[in-house]
Copies of this chain bind each other. A is one copy, B any other.
Amino acid sequence: MPRKSSPTQIRSTAEFARHVGLARSTVSRVLNGQPGLKQKTINRVLRAMSETGFSRNAFALHLKGKRTASVGICMEGLLRVPAVLKLATLQKRLREHHYTSLIEVLDPDGTSRAVAHFLSMRVEAVIFIGYFAEGEIADRIRELTRLGVPHVVIDHPGVPGANTVTLDRRGAMEKVTRHLIGLGHTSFGLLGISESAKSTWDRLHGIGDALASHQMTLERNTLSFDHLHSRESNFEFGRSLAKSFATLPTRPTAYMTLNDEIGAGALRGFLESGLRVPRDVSVTGFNNQDICLVSTPQLTSVDQQIDQTIEVAMTMLLAQINQAGGGGPMVELIQPQLVVRESTGAVAS
């Protein structure tokens, strides 16, 4: 037989005060750290707290007008490694500012439900991390703005009126492309970066920028086989794409991929097809995850500068909370860092 939970549950300050033998208002004053109380009384209350495990009902507390000091975080459901790191860093920083965070990992269609929940919980701000359905997130931002609830969007650029922090993905791909052009490459394969996915347009533009300044164009100098393969696993997607490219009699000499997993898959695919990296082909990833160190050869990639991203997001958040937002939406681009490793090299002569 399990023991009954012996000390009958104390569920209110009234009961608790009775249990300690003090007035309700006295207990309340202790709990709120108000002055003018004997140390002995304070100790009596604190001891009883830990003995009984009593805790104040946060719902009554906030009803009375105490601020919730909470922030809602919407996480895009595809929990990729960089997104998780952002979440962890963000929650830690919020805690330092004495904010509690409510986190919802979203189903694709979930922003509406999640934000409604946050609003009913009277959060003081809402933060989005990831890339969401265009219409959905635009609606959310409009809703939050109308209600005067501060917000920050991390990673989803271009939402009208949104306070946004994003990696400069366009600049990132321009850097990557220039690096490859500098190695002599003039023909490029694109893996997972294409016009069909709106979330990759800015990267495409970055590639286009770099090509343009060397009299090349996306149309003439890049090639994509994305439509040929399904995309259940990023790694397998990259691997099968590489194999498709490998069968071409004449093929691009450099390959830019959407992320490190696709990049690592591509490396594998090329190696399995008998091509040597970087001697025959060069490959780049994106995100600079651990996985870049694991592959052979190690993968050239782009670092997201996650700490800096979160720092900027926090600044935007606090600016809004302190009413320091002087007008229009704030938009900041984080400058990525190109990390060159073994998977990119001079074009074979």
Given contact pairs A79-B85, A235-B290, A290-B261, A116 touches B55 in the complex (Cβ within 8 A)? yes
CB distance from A223 to the nearest CB of B (A): 24
Chain B contacts of A62 at CB under 8 A? 59
Q: How far is the CA of A264 from the CA of B289 in the complex (A)?
A: 13
Q: How far is the CA of A68 from the CA of B267 in the complex (A)?
A: 50
Q: How far is the CA of A87 from the CA of B85 in the complex (A)?
A: 14
Please tell me the size bucket of the interface on A. 35 or more
Chain B contacts of A88 at CB under 8 A? 77, 79, 105
CB distance from A320 to the nearest CB of B (A): 11
Give the residues from 129 to 173 in chain A that come closer than 8 angstroms, CB to CB, to chain B.
143, 145-148
Selected A-B contacts with CB under 8 Å, 15 pairs: A5-B147, A53-B146, A55-B120, A57-B63, A57-B122, A59-B59, A79-B85, A91-B104, A234-B290, A235-B290, A268-B293, A268-B294, A290-B291, A291-B294, A294-B294
Residues of A within 8 A of B (CB): 1-2, 5-7, 9, 53, 55-63, 68, 77, 79, 81, 84-85, 87-88, 91-92, 95, 100-105, 107, 116-117, 119-122, 143, 145-148, 233-235, 261, 264-265, 267-268, 271, 290-291, 293-296, 327-328
